Amino acid sequence: MSADVKADFLRGLHNGVPICLGYVSVAFTFGMMCTENSMPFWIAVLISMTNLTSAGQFAGTALIIGGGSLLEIGITTFVINIRYLLMSLSLSQRIDPALSIPKRLLMSFGVTDEIFGVSMQSRGQISAAYFFGLMTAPFWGWALGTLIGATAVSLLPAMVRSALGIAIYGMFLAVIIPPARTERALVWVIVIAAMISCIFYYLPVLQQLSSGWVIIICAVLASSFAAIKWPIKEEEE
């Protein structure tokens, strides 16, 4: 490892620490949610280590718990994670064009909202060593947080555990509400998606459709409507 590569890696490692701390607490909640729904702790950790994502992994896991079909789980997770196409695309234009395929494949695994966001803040070309350093601490924080959350919950009394059922929804709200405060279009996306979801939940014939497909329908309708009515500006990318 040359001095430059080492320095880049260490700089990335350093910048990844704040992301790691955030990930530990979110993953902790995820781990609790899994165990609360009778999932073995090691599967929760396996999900975190192979997926390394928030919303998609939560949604997919919620569908697993509900016994959804593999097709539903795959499509739902894919639809949520489709935004990574854009991040990966932006990133592809900031790296060395000569970078080898194996390095690109490994970097791809670390494309999360936060890691991507921090990596794009640095000036000029993003080196592979820097990106590898940046994704290291968050990856282990995500895995470890899940392990602690998943194993700690079984030590809790039953009354506390029944209250934990709402945790994942609280987490979802904490993801969608803060940005909606300053962006009207997001308020409409959320309201429309929630309304369509209720329609499918309560109307007699429609309620036979399983939750994964309802989510896909809600996402496509609400997002298309908003994309037509409020196309994003460049700076929102």
Partner 1 sequence: METGYPYLYVLSAVAVMAIVTYIPRMLPLTLMRRKIQNKFIRSFLYYVPYAVLAAMTVPGILYSTSNMVSAILGLIAAVFLAYKNKGLLLVALGAVAVVFITEQCMLFL
Query: Smaller CB distance to partner 1: residue 10 or 17?
Result: 17
The smaller minimum CB distance to partner 1, of residues 11 and 104, is found at: 104
Place of tokens 């966001």: 117
* Cβ at position 123, least distance to partner 1 in Å: 20
CA angle 145, 148, 149 (to 5 degrees): 85
Greatest extent of the chain over all pairs of C-alpha atoms, in Å: 66
Rounded least distance, CB 115 to partner 1, Å = 11
The distance of closest approach from Cβ of residue 3 to partner 1 in the complex, given in angstroms and rounded to an integer, is: 27
The DSSP symbol for 123 reads S
Q: Helix or strand or coil: residue 172?
A: helix
- Judge whether 69 and 184 are in contact, CB under 8 Å: no
d(CA 213, CA 21): 34
Q: Which is nearer to partner 1, 2 or 55 (CB)?
A: 55
CB of 118 to partner 1, least distance (A): 16
Q: Minimum Å distance from CB 169 to partner 1?
A: 4
| Whole-number Å distance between alpha carbons of 15 and 99 | 22
Instruction: Count Cβ atoms within 10 A of the Cβ of residue 210 and give its class: 0-12 exposed, 13-18 middle, 19 or more buried.
Output: middle
AA identity, residue 200: F
Nearer CB in complex with partner 1: 10/21: 21
- Closer residue to partner 1 in complex, CB, 124/202: 202
Within 13 Å, how many C-alpha atoms sit on residue 23's CB side?
26
